[in-house]
Amino acid sequence: MVFERAFAQQALCSPSRTSMLTSRRPDTTRITRIGTYWRDLGGDFTTLPQYFKNNGYMTVGGGKLFHGGPSSNHNDPISWSKGYHTAAEDPDDKQHSWRAFTADELAAAPLRDTRETDHMIKQLKMYSRNASEGVQPLFLALGIHKPHLPSFFPEEFLKYYPEEDVDLPYNMHCPQGMPESAWHKPEVTQYADCLPEAVGVPDFGEINATLPVSKIKELRRAYYASISYIDYEFGRMLEKLVEYNLFDKTIIVFWSDHGWQMGEHAGWSKLVNFEIGTRAPLMIYVPGLTDDGGMRTNKKVEFVDLFPTLAELAGLDPIPTCPEYSNDVDLCTEGVSMVPLFADPDSAAWKEAVFWQHPRGPVVDDIPENMGYSIYTDQYHYIEWVKIRRLGGHAYEPDWSEQIDFPELYLVGSDVQENVNVYDQPEYADVIKELSGRLHVGWIAELPTYR
């Protein structure tokens, strides 16, 4: 099943991964940046692999599933049946935003994602017999780091993308009427080859300053090649599932933690509330359910929906819906199982809106000063930028009465690229009033009617 409109809860690695793996949104996990641990700030939440472990599964993992280091107390040891594997990083001197490695270079020093995949293939082989014979079920997670910056990949993958065929972004400038809060400095500017003086654009990194066409195509080509490289690594794992007689017994999930701007809206990063920053790949294969292939849904889903979906598909006890405040609840979901969409991909009963957010301004005692909140429907994307009210300790809530910038309203039914902010056009006053009310109430009022 291909989920054509799957969205992260925040366009940043650690908050997004924490939300997916705990099925809680960033205001509950209290993780809105990198370097803080949800069990310290949000609550002692049961994670997706931990839930399977608690239900008798062997849980093994490697690579980037949780955000590593202090963001997860080094990959959340309680979630795994055995030590989590992390391969050494590829050398990065911040000189090059991308690099294509020769076969000789890779023979001497394989890239991290290749080494990570090699290790997880060995793990799969080690536990495949018990899993195949029903002795102990297996939950295996491979987290591939790329296409994260810098784009490192074997040079052979460039051949799939001839320079003359590389496209340009469909919208190379910021939306008309965009508030300043919506913008974020391009992440590629941390690399020497993308500094203003290197690209010949003195104001690159400022709002609406974009790169020369030649540099745009160069970066997009490298990104595409990096994507093909990680597809190849994922394909190696799929081949081993077939070889070890597990393919027709295994639920397979392919997902990414957030979207990415490759020159769209003059951006070269995530860290935004635009749809392109939060929309990400999600595909699920279920033996006996998706075998015919070609299953797709255009219904909007969120990454908080994945945990309850996998629990149901595996025949485990369903994950209960969280109350409005759930920091003292170890197991619940702020999403909903997507299993009904496998039976009816066009279900009229599915939720009509999804939500995401992103902080702005300084962070003091792990609480951001401001937050941009999004509600996204089939017709509209509405965003409010507001102050955060501190409630004591690590608790906080949005102060809807104190807006730090003007709102955004994009008519995504017709302006799918989000090129024009129409918040100030009088004919949309009633639309804004309705969407603002729904945004303030939040996710719990938008769950499907059949949950």
Active site residues: 13, 67
- Token readout for 397 is 């809530």
Sequence-distant contacts of 444-450: CB under 8 A, at least 24 apart: 444/321, 444/324, 444/334, 446/351, 446/352, 446/353, 446/354, 446/355, 447/321, 447/336, 447/351, 448/336, 448/340, 448/347, 448/349, 448/350, 448/351, 449/349, 450/340, 450/349
**Between the CA of residue 107 and those of 89, 111, 324, 369, what are the distances in Å?**
16, 10, 53, 48
Dihedral (Cα; 292, 294, 298, 299), 10-degree rounding? 10
What is the spatial distance between Cα 80 and Cα 88, in angstroms, rounded to a whole number? 20
Buried b (16+ CB within 10 A) or exposed e, 131-170: beeeeebbbbbbbbbbbbbbbbbbebbbeebeeeebeebe
Residue 113 sits at the vertex; the CA angle it makes with 110 and 115, to the nearest 5 degrees, is 50
Report the Cα 100 to chain-centroid distance in Å: 25
User: What is d(CA 66, CA 82) in angstroms, rounded to the nearest whole number?
Assistant: 15
Contact 43, 330 (CB under 8 A): yes
What whole-number distance in Å separates Cα of residue 147 and Cα of residue 66? 16
Nearest 5°: phi and psi at 37?
-110, 125
N- to C-terminal Cα separation, the chain: 20
Instruction: Report yes or no: 341 and 299 within 8 Å, Cβ to Cβ.
Output: yes
- CA atoms within a 13 Å half-sphere pointing along the CA-CB vector of 126: 13
What are the angstrom distances between the C-alpha of 212 and each of 162, 164, 169, 215, 216? 18, 15, 12, 5, 6
Ramachandran region, residue 249 (left: φ > 0; alpha: ψ -120 to 50; beta: rest) = alpha
